[in-house]
Amino acid sequence: MRPQTAKAVREWRTSCAAEITTMVLGGAWKPSILHALAEHDVLRFGELSRQLSDLTDRVLTRQLRELEADGLVRRVVYPQVPPKVEYSLTELGENAQEVLNAMAAWGRSYAAEHDPDR
Amino acid sequence: MRPQTAKAVREWRTSCAAEITTMVLGGAWKPSILHALAEHDVLRFGELSRQLSDLTDRVLTRQLRELEADGLVRRVVYPQVPPKVEYSLTELGENAQEVLNAMAAWGRSYAAEHDPDR
DNA sequence: CAGAATCCATCGTGATACTG
DNA sequence: CAGTATCACGATGGATTCTG
């Protein structure tokens, strides 16, 4: 049986490493989140939420937790009131930018072929 | 929701374009299928099914139809008995190899970081 | 040989309301 | 501020059975 989560894939003898990438980066909003973090270096939760105004806090939280679990995002909690949590890219997350750019480039050429009026 | 400024549009397109790629290439078995087709140029349905022995014919059929609808795979039916159907990559599908290789490379480095003993 | 039909389990995503 | 709790829903993925 084929594993479903990125974590499970790590323990699965896979012959296709590209599938690992789609599992880690394939979340609906993960490219956008990683892109925002790459531009601003460090963002608080509220700042991220404002930048990505199309997704609810609930969804943003989950995507961030997954990215953190996969080692792409660093989460720093300051124990104070009101709470303050800062998110930034790890080295692995920064390395992912290269792939994301390659994927974005192909996605654009694909869209141009299928949707020339954009 | 679409962004308002030109800069925001550029960023939106960048991150959004990566999501297009995950939509087209992100199917559970699509990287494997495209890889098999890239290696053998032309494959019949049964040959593909034997190479990708982990998925049922039903699933393989659907993935192939999606790839065909997305313009990555060419499907040629020979009207004869017994039936013969050949699959091969279109030019778009061949172009995708570059991205798939980039994704596979990152996926491997990701796996190495999380699972150094392999 | 190359599928189609049917049905089902799971997962990702999202809306809403609430909180230390 | 930075989340959590709950519920719901549609899209994939898969198992099984059947066919020109």
How would you write the pLDDT of chain A (118 residues) with one tens digit per residue?
Answer: 445 555 444 444 455 899 999 999 999 999 999 999 999 999 999 999 999 999 999 999 999 999 999 999 999 999 999 999 999 999 999 999 999 999 999 999 999 887 654 4
- Which two three-digit tokens encode residue B10? 């550029």
Taking Cα atoms as reference points, which of A88, A1, A6 lies closest to residue A45?
A: A88
One-letter amino acid at B14 equals T
| Averaged pLDDT, B24-28 | 94
For residue B113, pLDDT beyond 70: yes
For residue B107, pLDDT beyond 80: yes
**Lowest mean pLDDT: which of B6-20, B29-43, B67-81, B86-100?**
B6-20
Q: What is the mean pLDDT of chain B?
A: 89
pLDDT digits (tens, 9 = 90+) for B29-65: 999 999 999 999 999 999 999 999 999 999 999 999 9
pLDDT, residue A33, reads: 97
List the A1 CA – D17 C1' distance (angstroms): 21
pLDDT band at B16 (very low <50, low <70, confident <90, very high): confident
pLDDT, residue A99, reads: 97
| CATH for the A3-114 domain, from 3.40.50.300, 2.60.120.40, 3.40.50.720, 1.10.10.10 | 1.10.10.10
- A82: the nucleotide nearest its CA (via C1') is D1
One-letter amino acid at B118 equals R
Question: How much of chain B, in percent, has pLDDT values that exceed 90?
Answer: 80
* Chain C bases closer than 7 angstroms to a protein Cβ: 1-6, 10-17, 20
pLDDT, residue B84, reads: 98
Cβ neighbours of A74 (radius 10 Å): 17
| Averaged pLDDT, B76-97 | 97
For residue B79, pLDDT beyond 80: yes
List the A45 CA – D2 C1' distance (angstroms): 7
Q: Is B32 on the interface with A (CB under 8 A)?
A: yes
The neighbouring-strand residues paired with A74 are A88
For residue B88, pLDDT beyond 80: yes
For residue B118, pLDDT beyond 50: no
Calpha distance B93→B96 (Å, rounded)? 5
pLDDT, residue B56, reads: 95
Min distance A118 CA to chain B CA atoms (Å): 10
* Coil vs helix vs strand at A15: coil
CA A74 to chain CA mean position, Å: 12
Q: Chain B residue closest to A69 (CA)?
A: B114
| Averaged pLDDT, B22-28 | 94
CA distances from A10 to A76, B23, B54, B105 (A): 25, 22, 18, 15
